[in-house]
Structure 1
Amino acid sequence: MSFQTPRSIEEMLTAIHKREYLMPAIQREFVWDADQITKLVDSLMRGYPVGSFLLWDVKPETAQSYTFYEFLTNYHERDHPYADKATVPAGSGTTAVLDGQQRLTSLNIALYGSLSEKKKYAWWNSANAFPTKRLYLNLVDEPDDEELGTKYDLRFLTDQEAAAEDGDADKWFRVGAVLDLPDSGPNMQKELTKRRITAGLDDAFQRLYDLYQAVRVLKPMNYFLVTDQDADKVLEIFVRVNSGGTTLSYSDLLLSMATNQWQDLDAREEVRSLVSEINSNAGRQFSFSKDVVLKTALTIADVDVRFKVTNFTHTNMAKVEAAWPQIRGALLRAATLLQQFGYNERNLTANSVIIPVAHYLHLRDAGDSYLDSSADAADRLALQRWVTRSLVKRGIWGSGLDTLLTRIRDVLQDNSEGGFPAAAIEDAMAVAGKSLTFESAEIDELLNLKYGGQRTFSVLSVLYPGLDLSKKFHEDHIFPKSRFTKKKLLNAGIPIEKVDDYLEVVNLLPNLQLLAGTANIEKQDSLPAVWIESAFPSEDKRSTYLSDNDLDGLSLDLGEFLSFFEERKRRVRERLITVLGTNPS
């Protein structure tokens, strides 16, 4: 290993675009976010060291035995989160980046590309959820984000956000445009003049000059070159140097090693494709990670489910590759089942629950017909009840996950016939300290769940199991929330001393139900008695609805809301005790 002559950022990125530098398959995916990228550029503009890089001189005879990837330029969290596979011509070698991939990819995105991350609270499949943004430097103002701790105001903005208003100074300079400036003197002055920047001209010039120097003049890119062609030694070096920064998870390493160890399939491409398909195809809206997919693969392949280096053997990877078609089919069907149970990325509180579901479907060799056949309806219901109860109970899918998954796998393998073995699984879970028995205090805690809470949907679905949750259902206030403002309650004749009591409980479980999306829209802010009269014109249908939702015999007048709430709370508590198998003291 030898130290090489330092290079500028421009020189390193030029080499990347000439495909002189590639990434070996053992590299993880790109994981840095916008703040990490802007901090890196800020550090370089301040002249701070950003660490050294480690490159591997891969000879032609070695290069043909490995898979390599190009560097990301335009990152899109949903549509293009992964680098494309590279082609190394026969008889050619390459230079592979062993350490520094995140930094180099970040600089490539900052100067040549764009970043499209999901907006907070946006739906994954929304057309506007991933705006395309590029890195801009504010030439006029100081940064206003103290927490970021930067000297320069660097932000990822859409081109529209960066555009100047008519007559205003064009203060946002696209960072990548610095590569087009012929020099750092007169042409910078021309740039500032063109942008109508007059106030604080010296500061603006200095900021642009600092960017030019950082990218095109200074040579902060120090790197070492590994020339050894022994794959085991290179892998050892890789693991050691990647112990810092954004931690290299064992799932990253497993996927990387599998890419080299699989004989017929490309592990990285297969996992990428499957993650995308289970999350967004067929109308699904989930956020399963590659970790979940890999853990499922280890479970179904019947190898140790822990992400440990000692498990990444050729033998184990061969088992995973051989079982991959079955793994893929089982996960896709499991995702469809969870969707039919009414779950999505917002209310599925533990993604790991899909692992035993997929394993069970694999063991019973369930095909697509299992998903909707009447012959399997009872089995699907048993599976749904177990899934839901495990999501309602706190602490099931947290710590000790590998032990839990292994115990469930053992039970499923010993009980592969005769339907879903819920009782046997729950016994094994209890031994592992993951009992699904609910105590009185836990039942009372569930009664205080709020509208939109993480576990609220699961509790409502287990309370009222007759609904076809494959259709879109909403959490709905029986007494509409829009009626519960201080002014509206007083206008409705509610005594002032009761108003706070009304407001305190309106969002809690006893005032909630699951209602089909269309019906919920039609209901709007109608009081329950009015809506029920119009939604269920026949006495039989009204009676069925009231009985199914624990509303029969209750006063549905707004003035009696507190009495309604307490009585329905009592009924819901009794129902929870029954459906959760609780014997509270």
Structure 2
Amino acid sequence: MKQPENQSKKYATLFADIDSGRIKIPQFQRDFVWDKTQTAKLIDSIIKGFPIGTFIFWKTRERLRSIRNIGNVELPEPPKGDAVLYVLDGQQRITSLYAVRKGIILTRDGESVDYKDLCVDLALMPDGEEEVVLAEPQEGKRTISIHRLLTGSLTSFLKSYSEKELERIEVYQRRLTGYDFSVIEIADYEIDIACEIFTRINTGGKALTLFEIMVAKTYDLERKFDLQERYDELIDSEGTAKDLEDANFETIPPVTILQCLAAKVCGSIKRGDILKMERDAVVDAWPVVVGSIFSAVDFMRSHLGVQVSRLLPYNTLLIPLTYFFICQSKAPSTRQVALLRQYFLWASLSNRFNSAVETKIETDLKRIDAIVREEQPSYDSEPLRLTVEDFRHRPFIATDAFCKAVLCILVAQQPRSLVDNGIVQIDNSWLKVASSRNFHHFFPKAFLKKRGIDWRDANRLANIILVNADLNKRVIRARAPSDYIKEFQEKNPDMAKALSSHFIGDPAAFGILVDDYEVFITNRATELLKTVDAQLLVERPVA
């Protein structure tokens, strides 16, 4: 790796390189131009000969997602094959100076900001203590705009200014155009190293995400590919195409989509492998991966009970399921459905992705390869052994993968309203916390508290059912199960069917009629375990 090279550049050279496309501003941050007041102080410092900090450029033949225009000025693309200097430090300074030189008009918070307003007070000497650069002309003061100072002709100055003012204009011009801008140029660094430098300099230690780095790296102007824009459209196309919001999967984060891409391109989601992905490979893979993501989402909704993305035990689970549909475009067979469900429950109920996600996914992609071949993957090295106690005593935590997997089983059962047997509606906005309107403690916590049972014991997973919001908050509240179930039975002649959809059997056998909490918990935990065991066991195909 080469050592950084210290240089200096004059004003004209610096901005000629921007005009030619040789210097580019990577699009890592939105506020890439200072406001007029900050810019006025910057130019005042240059006129006074003060140091304004060093520009750090990354010299590379990589093509990154970069700022395409500043206000009304288009920034050209560099010639093919030429090295580009990406600004890692000094973005705001260099773009602010450029905005003044070009007389750019920007829109901020709905208001136009004209950088031609910046001007020099011709009544002041450049080396005085007062700031000679104003953010805009002031009444009663003789000024010249910085833009005109740098781009105007001597003839136009002669017509407008006195001899003394012309002398000062000449001094200001000379100070600006003769200023030596300090530049450090680094070359032959990998993109992740360059981004680390950018992070340390610009964001106070907050690292650029892997997705942000790959957005920059995979940008392709000719093929009109912008990973950030494609991700935004995938989440919400605003009615122009199929999107994840329509499927209630709008909470899938960008890194998960990136990892789905990586599973296709390099069979790995390790950071180092993702950073090595070539731009063309990513662009080529995008439509295939997006189609497979939609297939995976449809599969989860149809076969796994994941009706909305907040029910997904791990966002990571989208990766192997998407990979399955990348490998196989046709609908899964009955055996493959069973094997995929088995994998989904095994990974979720074992809390598999609480750690070492990258390594585990690499292993699991091989398991998916086996499922594509309709073979039973091996789980012998990581067996899952569940007992009724795992369901009896497990606390209900809405964000826990085990709990979410059980909720998915409940949803797949198509839980019905205890009042009228209508299907319970599940919504992402209601599933953020354990106090969600969709979650109901069959034995209400307030009721159990009166019986001396604390909230921890009341908040067991086996005590949770899914209901519509109004039933939970307005009807049941703190009533005893024997009380509200008796009332609902009078309204709902098919109560047994409704209870069964929640894995609840005969009210008497389940202790409901006598409000026996422990009998209810034990019986329901047993029913949940039976269902899980049945789905984890996939019969061998008949020879």
The CA distance in 2 between the partners of 1:51 and 1:347, in whole Å, is: 50
The answer to whether the 8 Å contact 1:251/1:307 transfers is no
The CA distance in 2 between the partners of 1:362 and 1:305, in whole Å, is: 15
Determine whether 1:409 maps to 2:370.
Answer: no
Residue 466 (structure 1) aligns with: 413
Residue 542 (structure 1) aligns with: 495
Determine whether 1:437 maps to 2:385.
Answer: yes
Residue 287 (structure 2) aligns with: 325
The answer to whether the 8 Å contact 1:334/1:357 transfers is yes
One-letter identity of the residue aligned with 2:325 = L
The CA distance in 2 between the partners of 1:332 and 1:465, in whole Å, is: 19
TM-superposed CA distance for 1:397, in Å, is: 1.1
Residue 69 (structure 1) aligns with: 66
Distance 1:95 1:516, change over 3 A: same
The answer to whether the 8 Å contact 1:251/1:294 transfers is yes
Distance 1:55 1:403, change over 3 A: closer
SS in 2 for 1:281: coil
The answer to whether the 8 Å contact 1:56/1:96 transfers is yes
The answer to whether the 8 Å contact 2:248/2:308 transfers is yes
The CA distance in 2 between the partners of 1:508 and 1:107, in whole Å, is: 59
The CA distance in 1 between the partners of 2:424 and 2:530, in whole Å, is: 24
The CA distance in 1 between the partners of 2:361 and 2:234, in whole Å, is: 21
The aligned runs of 1:541-580 (5 Å cut-off) are 541-549=494-502, 550-551=504-505, 552-553=507-508, 554-556=510-512, 560-561=514-515, 563=516, 565-580=517-532
The answer to whether the 8 Å contact 1:284/1:339 transfers is no
The answer to whether the 8 Å contact 1:390/1:436 transfers is no
The CA distance in 1 between the partners of 2:490 and 2:334, in whole Å, is: 31
Residue 259 (structure 1) aligns with: 219
SS in 1 for 2:87: strand
The answer to whether the 8 Å contact 1:463/1:576 transfers is no
* Residue 347 (structure 2) aligned to one of 378, 383, 390: 390
The CA distance in 1 between the partners of 2:369 and 2:500, in whole Å, is: 41
Residue 54 (structure 1) aligns with: 56
The CA distance in 2 between the partners of 1:57 and 1:465, in whole Å, is: 54
TM-superposed CA distance for 1:355, in Å, is: 0.3
Distance 1:329 1:98, change over 3 A: same
TM-superposed CA distance for 1:410, in Å, is: 1.7
Q: Deviation per CA, 1:61-114, whole angstroms, max 9, x where unpaired? A: x8xx8455228999xxxxxxxxx99653879x9985431388779999xx9777
The CA distance in 2 between the partners of 1:477 and 1:100, in whole Å, is: 53
TM-superposed CA distance for 1:235, in Å, is: 5.2
One-letter identity of the residue aligned with 2:357 = L
SS in 2 for 1:358: helix
* Residue 206 (structure 2) aligned to one of 236, 246, 250: 246
Determine whether 1:354 maps to 2:318.
Answer: yes
The CA distance in 2 between the partners of 1:107 and 1:377, in whole Å, is: 62
TM-superposed CA distance for 1:288, in Å, is: 2.5
The CA distance in 2 between the partners of 1:449 and 1:105, in whole Å, is: 54
The aligned runs of 1:115-154 (5 Å cut-off) are none
One-letter identity of the residue aligned with 2:426 = K
Moved over 6 A (4+): 17-22, 71-74, 101-108, 111-115, 451-454
TM-superposed CA distance for 1:354, in Å, is: 0.1
Aligned identity (percent) is 12
How many residues align? The count is 422
The CA distance in 2 between the partners of 1:480 and 1:106, in whole Å, is: 63
The answer to whether the 8 Å contact 1:285/1:345 transfers is yes
Structure 1 unaligned regions, length at least 5 = 75-83, 116-131, 133-177, 187-220, 371-375
TM-superposed CA distance for 1:318, in Å, is: 4.6
Larger Rg: 2
TM-superposed CA distance for 1:304, in Å, is: 3.9
The CA distance in 2 between the partners of 1:281 and 1:453, in whole Å, is: 23
Q: CA RMSD in A?
A: 5.7
Please, what TM-score do these two structures have when normalized by structure 2? 0.58
One-letter identity of the residue aligned with 1:258 = T
Determine whether 1:501 maps to 2:453.
Answer: yes
The answer to whether the 8 Å contact 1:57/1:95 transfers is yes
The CA distance in 2 between the partners of 1:290 and 1:521, in whole Å, is: 35
Distance 1:408 1:530, change over 3 A: same
The answer to whether the 8 Å contact 1:279/1:287 transfers is no
Distance 1:346 1:100, change over 3 A: farther
Distance 1:346 1:52, change over 3 A: farther
Determine whether 1:512 maps to 2:464.
Answer: yes
SS in 1 for 2:466: strand
The answer to whether the 8 Å contact 1:364/1:417 transfers is no
The CA distance in 2 between the partners of 1:388 and 1:51, in whole Å, is: 56
Determine whether 1:282 maps to 2:246.
Answer: yes
Distance 1:459 1:225, change over 3 A: same
SS in 2 for 1:274: helix
The CA distance in 2 between the partners of 1:303 and 1:85, in whole Å, is: 39
Structure 2 unaligned regions, length at least 5 = 46-50, 98-104, 111-132, 142-179, 416-422, 428-436, 535-543
Residue 449 (structure 1) aligns with: 396
Q: Deviation per CA, 1:309-356, whole angstroms, max 9, x where unpaired? A: 696164xx5544443322110012223444553354544342111000
TM-superposed CA distance for 1:365, in Å, is: 0.8
TM-superposed CA distance for 1:416, in Å, is: 1.4
* Residue 296 (structure 1) aligned to one of 244, 260, 270: 260
TM-superposed CA distance for 1:526, in Å, is: 8.1
Determine whether 1:475 maps to 2:438.
Answer: yes
Residue 183 (structure 2) aligns with: 224
One-letter identity of the residue aligned with 1:224 = V
One-letter identity of the residue aligned with 2:67 = E
One-letter identity of the residue aligned with 2:328 = R
* Residue 424 (structure 1) aligned to one of 377, 396, 417: 377
The answer to whether the 8 Å contact 1:23/1:68 transfers is no
One-letter identity of the residue aligned with 1:361 = F
Distance 1:480 1:328, change over 3 A: same
